[in-house]
């Protein structure tokens, strides 16, 4: 068992499930701190507060829209204002631009940071002199919509959720206009009913997830990414780059809604920085993301993509592909949304899905050690090309 495999085993087996804001998440952060310090880094931990699960916010929006539907026949005007407002806020939330989390009870999480300055200590010109290697270390709670027999329809079911929300918002608005014109609007209520029932089904699935879903061991998602991050940190520590600062950031609470990354961006911004995000690397075929985003597609940085593809072409034995990723957000997504230069390195199966995604089978036994080695090789080569080597 090599060092990256040992990291993965410790995180996913010795520590085990690492739910966002949980005690085990903190144990994982402590482990990452110790390892980076052992490599010779000065390690900083930045604490922040956040909610423990994305289900909480989803349920607020869904039940809010169901309340709008339920009051439509009595108060169509108020119903439409509530539905349209919730829809707008939800779309902003999906785009990582707004979150209700700031108004909800929160718990503590943390990001772990370590900086490798360039060997010449040249910081007079800061333009594009830093690359951030990022990986989240928390793991998700399993839910029925991530069941292996259902997960292939995840994106379709999500779009049906958006459509249902949109129809209720537009339906309540059209009903209000019909009432103002003195026309019957009761039929609109019945037309919206199937979509309201779908929202109710989604709400029940989310409640089931929170009450009965187990937190996964998170071997592929994302002990694999952390293991590669630590492997790269150990290798580069021996030979710092001449022109490039490299920062290693292990983020917490990604599974709750990329909150670790969002806290990092709030503190440090995206200016003059390249971001390489590592997520779900341990099973399937490695690929680099050319675009991300659930609804709107945001392009990965063109230079990062081009350099990564050069690395792939220059090593014929490096089995890495490229393509878009649009199932859920990664830590790279909010960076792209804010105009930052980012790319993700991930792995997916033949269906374009993440193997054992958010399911209890996400164990160390289902991780391919060769993936970790190939990912490390790609990351080191990519960083060196950014450095001009």
338-348, pLDDT tens digit by residue? 999 999 999 99
What's the CATH number where 133 sits?
A: 3.40.630.10
Which one of 183, 212, 241 terminates a domain? Answer: 212
Average pLDDT for 182-200: 94
Q: List the structure tokens of 232.
A: 């790269």
Statement: residue 116 has pLDDT above 90: yes
Mean per-residue pLDDT over the chain, rounded: 94
Count of residues for the chain?
389
Q: How confident is the model at residue 296 (pLDDT cuts 50, 70, 90)?
A: very high
Kindly report, residue by residue over 45-92, the tens digit of the pLDDT. Answer: 999 999 999 999 999 999 999 999 999 999 999 999 999 999 999 999
Rounded CA-CA distance 64/214 in Å is 27
Given 195, 212, 229, which residue is the final one in a domain? 212
Cβ-count burial of 58 within 10 angstroms (0-12 exposed, 13-18 middle, 19+ buried)? Answer: buried
Do the domain assignments include residue 103?
A: no
Q: How far apart are the C-alpha atoms of 78 and 214, rounded to whole Å?
A: 39
Q: Does 156 share its domain with 250?
A: no
Query: Rounded CA gap, 307 and 277, in Å?
Result: 15
For residue 311, tell me if it sits in a domain.
Answer: yes
Instruction: Looking at the structure, tell me whether residues 271 and 358 fall in a common domain.
Output: yes
165/121 same-domain check: no
Least confident of 116-120, 135-139, 255-259: 116-120
Assess if residue 75 is contained within a domain.
yes
Q: Do residue 246 and residue 119 come from a single domain?
A: yes
Q: Are 214 and 100 in contact (CB under 8 A)?
A: no
Buried b (16+ CB within 10 A) or exposed e, 359-378: beebbbeebbeebbebbbbb
Secondary structure in 3-state letters for 151-196: HHHHHHHHHHHHHHHHHHHHHHHHHHHHHHCCCCCHHHHHHHHHHH
Residues 204 and 306 in one domain: no
Task: Look at residue 382 in the predicted model and tell me its pLDDT.
Answer: 96
Among 276, 248, 281, CA closest to 372: 281
Q: Average pLDDT of 169-190?
A: 92
Is residue 220 domain-shared with residue 206, that is, in the same domain?
A: no
111 pLDDT above the threshold of 60: yes
Q: What is the DSSP string of 55-103?
A: HHHHHHHHHHHHHHHHTTTT-HHHHHHHHHHHHHHHHHHHTTS--GGGG
pLDDT at position 242 is 85
158 and 296 belong to one structural domain: no
**123 band by pLDDT with thresholds 50, 70 and 90:** low
Within 10 A of 226 (CB to CB), how many other CB atoms are there? 30
Regarding whether 177 and 228 lie in a shared domain, the answer is no
pLDDT cut 70: percent of the chain above it: 98
pTM of the shown model: 0.94
Rounded distance, CA 367 to CA 283, Å?
5
Percent with pLDDT over 90 in the chain: 88
Task: Provide the pLDDT for residue 292.
Answer: 97
Q: Which residues contact 309 (CB under 8 A, 6 or more apart)?
A: 288, 322
- The SS3 assignment for 346 reads strand
Estimate the share of the chain in helix, then strand, then coil, as percent rounded to the nearest 5: 50, 15, 35
Residues 279 and 194 in one domain: no
Residue 349 DSSP SS3: coil
Q: Domains in the chain: how many in total?
A: 2
Q: How far apart are alpha carbons 119 and 278 in whole angstroms?
A: 25
CA atoms within 13 A on the CB side of 360: 6
Confidence of residue 362 (pLDDT cuts 50, 70, 90): very high
Nearest to 29 by CA among 252, 248, 225, 256: 252
What residues make up the domain containing 155? 56-98+148-212
- Candidate from 117-126, 140-149, 218-227, 379-388 with smallest mean pLDDT: 117-126
- pLDDT score, position 282: 94
Q: Is residue 231 part of a domain?
A: yes
Tell me, yes or no, whether 308 lies in a domain: yes
Is there a single domain that holds both residue 113 and residue 172? no
Same domain, 30 and 154: no
pLDDT at 126: 47
Q: Which of 184, 212, 240 is the last residue of a domain?
A: 212
pLDDT tens for each residue of 15-37: 999 999 999 999 999 999 999 99
């Amino acid at each position: 068992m090599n060092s990256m495999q040992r990291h993965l085993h410790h995180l996913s087996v010795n520590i085990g499930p690492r739910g966002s804001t949980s005690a085990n998440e903190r144990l994982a952060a402590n482990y990452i701190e110790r390892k980076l310090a052992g490599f010779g880094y000065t390690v900083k931990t930045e604490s922040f507060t956040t909610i423990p699960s994305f289900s909480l916010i989803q349920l607020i929006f869904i039940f809010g829209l169901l309340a709008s539907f339920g009051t439509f026949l009595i108060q169509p005007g108020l119903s439409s204002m509530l539905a349209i407002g919730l829809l707008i806020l939800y779309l902003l939330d999906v785009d990582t631009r707004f979150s209700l989390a700031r108004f909800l009870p929160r718990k503590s999480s943390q990001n772990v940071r370590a900086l490798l300055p360039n060997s010449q200590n040249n910081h007079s010109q800061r333009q594009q002199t830093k690359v951030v290697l990022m990986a989240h270390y928390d793991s998700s709670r399993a839910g029925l919509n991530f069941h292996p027999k259902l997960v292939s329809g995840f994106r379709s079911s999500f779009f049906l959720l958006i459509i249902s929300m949109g129809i209720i918002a537009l339906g309540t608005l059209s009903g209000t206009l019909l009432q103002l014109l003195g026309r019957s609007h009761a039929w609109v209520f019945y037309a919206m009913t199937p979509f309201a029932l779908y929202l109710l089904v989604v709400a029940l699935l989310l409640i089931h997830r929170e009450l009965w879903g187990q937190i996964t061991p998170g071997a592929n998602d994302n002990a694999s990414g952390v293991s590669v991050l630590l492997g790269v940190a150990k290798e580069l520590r021996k030979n710092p780059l001449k022109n490039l600062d490299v920062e290693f950031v292990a983020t917490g609470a990604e599974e709750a809604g990329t909150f670790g990354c969002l806290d990092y961006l709030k503190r440090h911004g995206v200016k003059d920085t390249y971001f390489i995000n590592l997520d779900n690397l341990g099973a399937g075929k490695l690929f680099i993301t050319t675009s991300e985003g659930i609804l709107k597609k945001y392009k990965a940085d063109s230079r990062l993509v081009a350099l990564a593809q050069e690395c792939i072409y220059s090593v014929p034995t490096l089995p890495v592909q490229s393509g878009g990723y649009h199932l859920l957000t990664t830590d790279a997504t909010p960076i792209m949304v804010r105009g930052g230069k980012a790319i993700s390195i991930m792995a997916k199966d033949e269906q374009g899905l993440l193997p054992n995604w958010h399911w209890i089978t996400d164990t160390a036994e289902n991780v391919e050690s060769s993936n970790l080695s190939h990912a490390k090789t790609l990351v080191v080569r990519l960083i060196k090309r950014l450095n001009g080597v």
